[in-house]
Amino acid sequence: MYQLGVVYRNITRTDRATADALAPLGSATVHEAMGRVGLLKPCMRPIYAGAQISGTAVTVLLHPGDNWMMHVVAEQIQAGDIVVAALTAECSDGYFGDLLATSFQARGACGLVIDAGVRDVKTLTEMRFPVWSKAISSKGTIKATLGSVNIPVVCAGAYITPGDVIVADDDGVVCVPRAMAAQALQAARAREANEGAKREKLARGVLGLDMYNMREPLAAAGLKYID
């Protein structure tokens, strides 16, 4: 349940080194490393392919058709942040365009995750300001009602606390709680370290059936081969 009309100026961010180190691991590996949790719904798609970022969440709660708080959150951005915009009800309007992107980028934001729509995607792409959204829409918004900044929000089905780490790439968006970030980074790195050897084996034609010792449990489960 949301508190409205407040801006928390002091949030505890995950330390920058940890937050930044998660980007190259990617959303899928980080999500697996945390025990398969933390994902935003797959309707959240990047506006262009290839962006892969991580950063600390500053959050903003918006009302349908109203982007007033986007200007309020801009002031709270620090270098390395990712803005996470949640909605009080479903809306596909275009809350964010090239002017706000210019402002966010100038303040140090490395991206936006929004459970609504964006516009000016051609310019955002040229600016290399990545956005993950559930819609692209020219529809403009008004500035009439207060939401909040830096309160915990639910964005695309995930609970996100200001200062958590967001990892976003072509596969989607995952939220790593601040308290788990160091451990998630370690687990994700361990997971990835493993993958090189596996990939090489698989590339040589070794089967996962053998590499993961699956034949026995499959037989135990009753799998039958028929010639």
What is the footprint of a second copy within residues 168-207 (CB under 8 A)? 169-172, 174-177, 180, 195, 198-199, 202-207
Site for a second copy in 114-143 (CB under 8 A): 117, 119-122, 125, 135-140, 142-143
Rule CB under 8 A: which of 1-60 touch a second copy?
1-2, 4-10, 26-28, 31-32, 34-39, 41-42, 45, 48-50, 52
Dihedral, CA atoms, 174, 175, 179, 181, nearest 10 degrees? 40
Of the candidate residues 14, 22, 60, 97, the single one contacting a second copy (CB under 8 A): 97
Locate tokens 């992107």: which residue?
101
DSSP states of 12-79:
-PPPHHHHHHTGGGHHHHHHHHTTS--BPPTT-EESSTT--EEEEEEEEEEBTTB-HHHHHHHHH--T
Strands 111-118 and 131-136: parallel
Residue 80 CB, nearest distance to a second copy (Å)? 16
**How many whole angstroms separate alpha carbon 178 and alpha carbon 6?**
22
Q: Which of residues 63-82 bind a second copy (CB under 8 A)?
A: 63-66, 68, 70-72, 74-75
Candidates 19, 92, 132, 162; binder of a second copy (CB under 8 A) is 92
Residue closer to a second copy (CB basis): 17 or 99:
99
- Give the nearest distance from C-beta 186 to a second copy in angstroms: 16
Smallest distance from a second copy to CB 85, Å: 14
Supply the minimum distance, in Å, between the C-beta of residue 165 and a second copy. 10
Q: Specify the residue, 17 or 218, whose C-beta has the smaller distance to a second copy.
A: 218
Minimum Å distance from CB 4 to a second copy?
5
Nearer to a second copy, 17 or 143 (CB): 143
Residue 163 touching a second copy (CB under 8 A):
no
The distance of closest approach from Cβ of residue 20 to a second copy in the complex, given in angstroms and rounded to an integer, is 19
Long-range contacts of 103-109 (CB under 8 A, 24+ apart): 103/71, 103/74, 104/74, 104/77, 104/129, 105/129, 107/74, 107/75, 107/77, 107/78, 107/79, 108/77, 108/78, 108/79, 108/80, 108/81, 109/55, 109/58, 109/77, 109/81, 109/82, 109/83
